[in-house]
């Protein structure tokens, strides 16, 4: 068991964050756009949501959170890799763990606090599941431990 290679964690984390940003943009601005537009036009719901002027700030905040989450995904993959082995299955386990934590901390409370969000949460949760699995897989693909040439992973696949 070697030490975790910080530069590879950062590289994998940034790549994972880009995947998460792209997934959330696709889900929110393509798949759910008609519903969001309907909600923006409904005064009762609009009062519960952020003002449109604050949308840019919300997007910036989500980008920072995605970067932090991507780094956590890459670090977690690096932490469990010596125990579970390098490869896709370890990345999938990592992605499922992070997705489950996000689901329990973010989506379930939001569904309880605002029943109107129950319509969009399943789509967001499934989109995030795919996003986290792809992000963790790419972070695992990028990650190398010190002195690791990657030959063992190529033979195992």
Residue 101 scores a pLDDT above 90: yes
Q: Identify whether the C-beta of residue 27 lies closer than 8 Å to the C-beta of residue 124.
A: yes
pLDDT for 157 equals 44
Residue 121 scores a pLDDT above 50: yes
Q: 106 falls in which pLDDT band (50, 70, 90)?
A: confident
| SS3 (DSSP) at 2 | coil
Helices (H), the chain: 6-26, 33-41, 43-46, 55-84, 88-102, 108-113, 121-142, 151-156
- Taking the C-alpha atoms of residue 18 and residue 109, their distance in angstroms, rounded to an integer, is 26
């Amino acid at each position: 068991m070697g030490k975790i290679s910080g530069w590879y964690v950062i590289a994998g984390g940034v790549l994972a964050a880009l995947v998460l940003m792209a997934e959330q943009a696709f889900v929110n601005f393509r798949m759910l756009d008609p519903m969001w537009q309907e909600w923006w036009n409904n005064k009762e719901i609009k009062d519960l949501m952020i003002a449109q002027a604050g949308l840019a700030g919300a997007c910036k905040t989500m980008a920072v959170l995605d970067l932090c989450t991507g780094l956590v995904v890459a670090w977690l993959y690096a932490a469990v890799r010596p125990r579970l082995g390098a490869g896709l299955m370890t990345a999938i386990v990592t992605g499922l763990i992070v997705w489950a934590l996000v689901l329990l901390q973010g989506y379930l409370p939001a569904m309880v606090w605002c029943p109107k969000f129950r319509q969009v949460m399943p789509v967001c949760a499934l989109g995030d599941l795919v996003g986290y699995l792809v992000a963790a897989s790419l972070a695992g693909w990028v990650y190398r431990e010190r002195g690791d040439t990657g030959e063992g992973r190529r033979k195992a696949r």
